[in-house]
Amino acid sequence: MPRQGRINIETGIYHVIQRGIERRNIFLDDFDRERFLERLAEGLEYTGHKCYGWVLMPNHFHLLIRTSMSPLSSLMRKLLTGYALYFNKKYKRSGYLYQGRYKSILCQEDLYLLELLRYIHLNPLRAGIVRDIQGLDNYKWSGHGVIIGMRQAPWQTTGEILQLFGKRKREAIKGYVEFISSGKDMGRREDLTGGGLIRSIGGWKEAERFKASKERWASDERILGDGEFVGQILEHAEEEMERKEKLKQEGWDIDKIAKKVCGLLGVDIRDIKRLSKRSKLSQAKSLICYFANRELGISGVELSEYFGITRSSISVSIQRGKKLAEENEYLII
């Protein structure tokens, strides 16, 4: 059965899980964990994504990410590839470090943001790595300690989480800790990590009920939410795919976008691949990157090859192009 493509939603909440191949450990010492977090911080800055929660376990990790306009894959590619190269070099090994593709689950924010945050941060307690909530507070390799102020991680977004628990920081931290503590006896949540139908309708009992009935329910293993949310996301994803395919059938490609943008800004298209700090030329490149990525789904790798510049420069150009398009209400398609 062919694997399903990723679902990319701007500002979407994603629960990301990756395990070591054959469930082997992917972190062998604290230095490994530090290097991984350094790469995570770099990736977040590079993509503009936000990290609300995270935990590093011996053989896997969890992240709770809000994406920017860039797809989640932009972060994960940079993070996973960089860390695997580091790990293999350090331990003089070769081959795959991870067990297949990372799992990314798009989540319905109002129903599951806090549930997922709690589930992720309670991992060390469920696994017996720490004995109690106090031990969890002191566990270094989790976003929980950052939220309560035990450690610093400037790259982790904590304010948006704490404001859900109170207006004042002390009050908010207390509310957050009480929320985490209330779930300390929570076991593995199949509705948070299991199959699509189970996720989409709230657990095994509900799944059995729907299985026994004649009701229909939208489900997808890539999505965590109620039936309406799942249906809306799938419809949106299908419409986006059809729209991009239609544009390609109509002859839209990066060259056609470049021609339109250059005409719009009065730039000579023969100069578009030249290195230049000229304002108009720089703006044209940024708009081409943005429209090619947004309208046609052209990847940063392809854009990097087209312009002969680095991936990081392409990411900056896409963000700048988005801002230019919105501020000036530019439309080319």
pLDDT (average), residues 160-167: 96
The domain locations on the chain are: 13-181, 190-245, 251-328
> How far lies 99's CA from each of 21, 65, 290, in Å?
4, 20, 33
3-state helix, strand, coil in the chain (%, to 5): 55, 10, 35
pLDDT on residue 3: 55
Question: Domain 13-181 is in which class?
Answer: alpha beta
Summarize pLDDT for 181-209 with one digit per residue, the tens. 999 887 677 667 644 444 444 444 444 44
Band of pLDDT at residue 296, cut at 50, 70 and 90 = confident
Mean local confidence (pLDDT), 152-157: 96
Strand boundaries in the chain, DSSP class E:
13-19, 50-56, 60-66, 103-107, 223-224
Q: In the predicted model, is pLDDT for residue 53 greater than 60? A: yes
Tell me the CATH number of domain 251-328, given options 1.10.1750.10, 3.30.9.10, 1.10.760.10, 2.170.150.70.
Answer: 1.10.1750.10
**What CA–CA distance (Å, rounded) separates 267 from 331?**
16
44 pLDDT exceeds 80?
yes
Provide the 3-class DSSP secondary structure of residue 60: strand
Q: Which amino acid is at 136?
A: L
- Helix and strand tally (H, E) in the chain? 16, 5
Output the pTM of the full model: 0.76
Least confident of 4-18, 35-49, 142-156, 190-204: 190-204
- Mean pLDDT of the 233-257 span: 81
Mean pLDDT within 8-12: 86
pLDDT at position 230 over 80: no
Number of Cβ within 10 Å of residue 11's Cβ equals: 11
- The pLDDT tens digits of the residues spanning 83-121 come to 999 999 999 999 999 999 999 999 999 989 999 999 999
